[in-house]
Structure formats: C-alpha cells, structure tokens
Amino acid sequence: MKTTALDRMRSRIAAFLHDLLMIPVAWLGAYWLLFDLGPVPPSTGRDALLSLILVWPMQASVNWYFGLYRGVWRFASLPDLVRISKALIAGVLISTLALYVAGLLTGMPRAVIMLYALLLLGCFTLPRFFYRWSKDHRHNFRSAQRVLIVNAGKAGDMLVRDMLRDPRRAFQPVAFVDDDRAKRGKEIQGIRVVGPYAVMPRVVKELAIDVIMLAVPTANAALMRRLVALAERCGVPFRTVPNLEDLMSGQIRLQELRKVRIEDLLGREPVSLDWPRIREGLTGRVIMVTGAGGSIGAELCRQIASLNPAALILLENSEYNLYSIELELREHFSELSLHAHLADITDEVACDRLFARYHPQVVFHAAAYKHVPMLETQVREAVKNNILGTKVVAEVADRYACSEFVLISTDKAVNPANVMGVTKRVAEIYVQNLDAQSDTRFITVRFGNVLGSAGSVVPLFEKQINAGESVTVTHPEMERYFMTVREACQLIMQASVLGRGGEIFVLNMGKPVNISRLAEEMIRLSGKVPGRDVKIVYTGLRPGEKLHEELFHERERLMDTGHEQIRLARYREVGWDLLTNRMDEVHKACVAYDTSRLGELLNWFVPERKRVRTAPEKAGDVVALVKND
C-alpha cells in the first residue's frame, strides 16, 4: 500500500511540475507570437517577465484548487478537459484582475492575454492526451490473445478501451465485425470494422483470431442464436457481455465477460415491468412466502427483500433450504425484518400460529411437490401437499384478513396428464372459487418450466455433459415452455398487483422449445459436437409426461391485462357447497389412505384429465398411448 500511495504522489508532483513549467512557456510564447516569432523588444520583455512573477503563482494555485492533479494522465478524458478549461478561465481572469490592480496591464498588448489562454490550453491538454494515446497504442501484445469483437457499438468500444488499458496486455483487439453498413471500413479506437457478422469464420482464419467477444448486450434470442452458430463454426472460444438488465453500472469491462448461457439463446424480449406499481403494492407491507427455500420461492424472497417490505416471513419444510435462504438474505439485506420458520403447509396449527403472530398482508404460495414421474406413484402425498396444503394456507389467509394470496401454478395444470398437474389444477379451482367467499384477493399465476430450477432438465443435461455421458431425452418431439427464474418471479409480482381476485394470470412464455434442440445447444456451448462427442439417447416418455404443454384450457376465455407479457384467463365456477363437500372427501380419503377414492375424486375435479402410458420397445423407440378417462 505504501508503494502505491508513493507512486500516486509522484504522479501528482510530476503533473504539477509539468504544468508549472508550462505557465511561463505559454506566457512568454504569447509575446513571441505577438511579434511574429521575431525578437521581443527589451522593454516589452522586461514587462513580460515582471508580469509573469504575478501570473505564475496565481495560475498554479488555481490549477490545484480545481483539482487538475486528482486525475491520472493514463486515463485523461473529457472530465479532465472540463477541469482544465475551468481552471484556465478562472486563472486568466484572476491574473488579469491582479495585473490591473498592480498597474501592469497598462501598455500591455491586449492580444497577449488571448494568446496566452490558447497556448496554455494546448500546453496543458496535448501532453496529457498524447501520453494516454501512447499508452493505449503501445503494441506490446506479444503474448496476448488476438480478439475479434462482434458489434462495433458502445459495448464494443468499451471492450476495446478496457483491453488497451489493461496493464497485463492479456487481449489484443484485432478487428470488428458488424452488420451496420455505415460502420464498414471505419475504425473505432484504431480497430477496423472488416465486414458483417457472416464473415466471422473467414476473418478468424485470416487474422489468426484466438477468441471471439460478443459485445451485443441488447441482442434478442434469435440474434444470439445466429451469432453463437457463427462463432461455433469458427472453432475458437467465444464469450459474451452480460445483457443490459445485468449491467447495472452501465460499464462493460473484460471482467464482466462470461460464457454464453442457454438462457441467452432461449430467452424472449426483455421483461418490461411497472416497477412503481409493484413497489406501491409490496413496499412497507408484511409478506409471507411459502416454499421459501425452493427455486421460485428463494428468488421471490430476494426480489421482495429489495423492495423494503415491513417484514418478510419465510415458511419452508426443508431445514437445509430454509437455512440457506435465511443466511443469504441476512447477508445481503441486513436491515430487513426477516423471520424464518420451519413448518409444513399441511400443518394447520403451525400455519394459524404464524398468521396470528405476523398477520401477513400478502402471501406468495410457492410450496408444492412438482416432480412429475415421482408423483405418479405418490398420489396421496401429492394430493396432501398440493391440494390440502394449499387449502390450509388459503383458509388461514382468509381467516386473518390477508389482502392478497398468490398461488403459483404451472402449465401442467392445463389438460393435465399427470398427478402433479391434476393436483395443481384442483388447487387452482379451490382458491379461485374461495375468492368469491372472501375479502382476500385470491390470484393464480400460471407459467411453464424455469431454467435451472431444482429437478429441471437443464441441470440434468449439464451434469451428463460434464460427466461425458450421453444426454437422455425422452422423445425427439418433446417441447416445453421456458423462462428464467428471475423473470418468472418479476412477472409473479407484477400479476400480484394487477389482480382483483379470482383470476388466472398466464405468463407469456414465448414459443415452446424443442428439448432435443435444447440438448444440442447445451452440448455445443460446452465446446463439444452433438452426436460425435456427446450422444443424445431417446428413452421414451416417462409416466405422466406429455409431448406438448399448454398454458390455458380451450374453454378459458383469455383477456388483456394491460401488460403485454401477462394474459388473463377466466376461471371455472363450481358451486361452493359442492366444492367444500368434495374437498372434505379428499381429506377423508387421505386420512384413510384410500388412493382409489382419491383417483375418483381427482377425475371429478378435472374431467379433462388425460393419462399417458409409455411402452418403449427398445432404446430410441417410443410408443405413447394416450387416452381420455
């Protein structure tokens, strides 16, 4: 630390001494220019030296006052020019006033002051910017990796600047490619734009490029897929800058470069949120999240915590998950009023106690069992948790006059082909109809798969690829909707403030993604070739799986919500007395462990239910038998 401080002091002293020397150079140079670079008359020369005795210390003092030596010559920029201009103007005005008071202005050629100001500006600025230019363009890149930058926009410019400033000289910018015709042949920071994106493979070969940097933070998924496909053909590593949502600082540096992730290729247009309305709905309120340690629940907690709620109550039945999210939230939100409780949503006594103690105003109900094949043989547990657990929390929320209750559902609840989807559909039906009986606003939010969530296909594929195993896909035509956990939670919060009660909000999931293509993209992103380095094996549909998921039922009337990424589906009304009687029968069947009766009740609740059975005859062959019950 002492060495660094000493180096900084030396730099400031050197800059100060430089400027101190430039003052007499500019002052005497002004007289010299005034006489056409010829001899200055002796009397005028004496007046010039006498005046310099007054001008010199005043300009030096003003320079220090305006902070000319806080900046570093190595990074001289526009703010430094502004400081120099202010110091110069102030110094000239003060010096002129002092000369007038001292009587030295009389007989002095008036052009001297103007020439002095111009010369001094040049003497102060030109050495600084020449020093920076020489440092930035000193080509000692002998061991550096040669870089091709994709996109000659602001992000590309920032990357080049950072590479040129990097004292390690780890990267040498060689060329840009950009589809903008107006930029072709132009230079940015001395680096030429050599052609459109399509020439990437040729440029990489001709210029011996070692790494490609994708500087396109505003790229949509289609453009990213195109750029990644081109980069993969080049046979060299490639990196990307984060998207605009992640670049909170507004600066793009080498440290921010990362590998292209699968969500970069599968994403949709950026989520646009009404943050003022979300803050109005959640800031300063007591909020409870059930299933707070799960993928969705934990991300909800992070985003809610950033909105400064009056208190955040975590309800979770996994000890480790609760410990993890509580530890993270306390570390990042030390001022947050946080209350973590280990409890089960089916435990009515525990839930009642928590509501009586904290009186939450908003409940986000994310707790659920969701593993489709496993729940096919665990009907009672799926019903107990997903249906009766939801019923318990919803009724307690009603009893304690909670303002909003948001049920987080799934696309698998639409024309469900599995136990998980059926149980979530019954939970939807119950809370939607409870809304008409309660002052609490019961809102349902329905969406598809979340990238990277626990038990999802993306972590499984990553594990198989990293282990050198074959990637297992159930069916070549399998499709699913995907979104990131971050945007899913943001849209859940948006729906919570849009809802008036009883609605099903359907999040716009974009186009469904073919799982085979997803596997291929992930293999390529790992630097391997599908079919050659990593094989894709089709194993057949698992119990309860459908080839294609749906986001809404054909009988659900879709309506606009005023938000382009959220749609509204009208719910199915069921007579309240009949519904509560059936729910009582569900409870009794669970207590009696009567799975046959549970199956009958589920079919009554969800008559559109489908069952899928699979009978693969050999590896790679799939026979899906689908029938309506």
pLDDT digits (tens, 9 = 90+) for 153-164: 888 888 888 887
Q: Cα–Cα distances in Å, from 106 out to 5, 32, 248, 302, 602?
A: 47, 19, 58, 72, 104
pLDDT tens-digit map of 377-405: 899 999 999 999 999 999 999 999 999 99
DSSP string covering 320-342, please? Answer: HHHHHHHHHHHHH-TTS-EEEEE
Instruction: Give domain status of residue 495, yes or no.
Output: yes
Flag whether pLDDT at 349 surpasses 90: yes
**Strand partners for 363:** 288, 405
Domain boundary among 211, 229, 260: 260
Report the pLDDT value the prediction gives residue 485, as an integer from 0 to 100. 79
Report the pLDDT value the prediction gives residue 557, as an integer from 0 to 100. 57
Q: What is the share, in percent, of the chain residues with pLDDT greater than 90?
A: 31
Instruction: Give domain status of residue 388, yes or no.
Output: yes
Flag whether pLDDT at 341 surpasses 80: yes
Average pLDDT over residues 325-352: 96
Shared domain check, 297 and 179: no
Which of 76-90, 181-195, 547-561 holds the top average pLDDT? 181-195
Average pLDDT over residues 397-414: 92
Q: Environment class of residue 106 by beta-carbon count within 10 Å: exposed (0-12), middle (13-18) or buried (19+)?
A: exposed
pLDDT band at 69 (very low <50, low <70, confident <90, very high): low
Q: What is the share, in percent, of the chain residues with pLDDT greater than 70?
A: 78
Shared domain check, 452 and 470: yes
**Strand partners for 146:** 172
* Residue, of 327 and 219, whose pLDDT is higher: 327
Shared domain check, 377 and 236: no
Instruction: Give domain status of residue 619, yes or no.
Output: no
The amino acid occupying position 182 is: A
Q: Which residues, 6+ apart, have CB-to-CB distance to 522 below 8 Å?
A: 262, 458, 461, 462, 465, 471
Report the pLDDT value the prediction gives residue 386, as an integer from 0 to 100. 97
Of 353, 176, 219, 361, nearest in space to 284 by CA: 361
Report the pLDDT value the prediction gives residue 547, as an integer from 0 to 100. 73
Shared domain check, 448 and 317: yes
Flag whether pLDDT at 551 surpasses 70: no
Q: Write phi, then psi, for 228 (nearest 5 degrees).
A: -65, -40
| 174-178, 370-374, 610-614: the lowest-pLDDT one | 610-614
CB-based burial, 304-326: b 16+ in 10 Å, e otherwise: bbebebebbbbbbbeeebbeebb
| Spatial separation of the C-alpha atoms in residues 133 and 306, rounded to whole Å | 43
* Residue, of 262 and 610, whose pLDDT is higher: 262
Q: Which residues, 6+ apart, have CB-to-CB distance to 43 below 8 Å?
A: none
Residue pointed to by tokens 């870089």? 147
Instruction: Give domain status of residue 398, yes or no.
Output: yes
Average pLDDT over residues 616-620: 34
Report the pLDDT value the prediction gives residue 116, as an integer from 0 to 100. 81
* Residue, of 593 and 467, whose pLDDT is higher: 593
Report the pLDDT value the prediction gives residue 624, as an integer from 0 to 100. 31
* Residue, of 274 and 426, whose pLDDT is higher: 426
* Residue, of 418 and 137, whose pLDDT is higher: 418
Q: Give the pair of three-digit tokens for residue 136.
A: 């930035």
pLDDT band at 189 (very low <50, low <70, confident <90, very high): confident
Whether 512 and 480 have beta carbons less than 8 Å apart is answered as yes
Flag whether pLDDT at 5 surpasses 60: no
Shared domain check, 289 and 240: no
Q: Which residues, 6+ apart, have CB-to-CB distance to 620 below 8 Å?
A: 537, 538
Instruction: Give domain status of residue 10, yes or no.
Output: yes
Whether 621 and 472 have beta carbons less than 8 Å apart is answered as no
> Domain with 173 in it: what CATH number?
3.40.50.720
| 75-89, 218-232, 413-427, 441-455: the lowest-pLDDT one | 75-89
Instruction: Give domain status of residue 621, yes or no.
Output: no
Q: Write phi, then psi, for 560 (nearest 5 degrees).
A: -75, 150
Instruction: Give domain status of residue 629, yes or no.
Output: no
Strands 449-451 and 471-473: unpaired
Whether 228 and 262 have beta carbons less than 8 Å apart is answered as no
Instruction: Give domain status of residue 270, yes or no.
Output: no
* Residue, of 199 and 139, whose pLDDT is higher: 199
Q: Give the pair of three-digit tokens for residue 82.
A: 């502004």
Shared domain check, 182 and 54: no
State the CB neighbour count (10 A cutoff) for residue 615.
11
Shared domain check, 216 and 120: no
pLDDT band at 439 (very low <50, low <70, confident <90, very high): very high
Flag whether pLDDT at 8 surpasses 90: no
Shared domain check, 426 and 345: yes
Domain coverage including residue 502:
275-614
Shared domain check, 478 and 329: yes
pLDDT band at 250 (very low <50, low <70, confident <90, very high): very low
Shared domain check, 183 and 160: yes
Report the pLDDT value the prediction gives residue 9, as an integer from 0 to 100. 58
Report the pLDDT value the prediction gives residue 23, as an integer from 0 to 100. 81
Shared domain check, 249 and 280: no
Average pLDDT taken over every residue of the chain? 80
Average pLDDT over residues 292-300: 93
Average pLDDT over residues 433-453: 84
Report the pLDDT value the prediction gives residue 203, as an integer from 0 to 100. 93
Average pLDDT over residues 69-98: 70
| Spatial separation of the C-alpha atoms in residues 539 and 38, rounded to whole Å | 94
Report the pLDDT value the prediction gives residue 168, as an integer from 0 to 100. 73
pLDDT band at 249 (very low <50, low <70, confident <90, very high): very low
User: Model's pTM, two decimal places?
Assistant: 0.64
Number of independent structural domains in the chain:
3
pLDDT tens-digit map of 555-606: 555 555 566 667 676 666 788 999 999 999 999 999 999 999 999 999 899 8
Domain boundary among 136, 171, 203: 136
Flag whether pLDDT at 22 surpasses 80: yes
Q: Give the pair of three-digit tokens for residue 472.
A: 């297992």
Shared domain check, 570 and 443: yes
| 294-298, 354-358, 494-498: the lowest-pLDDT one | 494-498
Report the pLDDT value the prediction gives residue 263, as an integer from 0 to 100. 65
| 163-172, 237-246, 281-290: the lowest-pLDDT one | 237-246
Whether 395 and 437 have beta carbons less than 8 Å apart is answered as no
Directed axis angle between helix 419-435 and helix 576-591, to 10°? 140
Domain boundary among 95, 111, 136: 136
Average pLDDT over residues 514-529: 80
| 166-180, 362-376, 495-509: the lowest-pLDDT one | 495-509
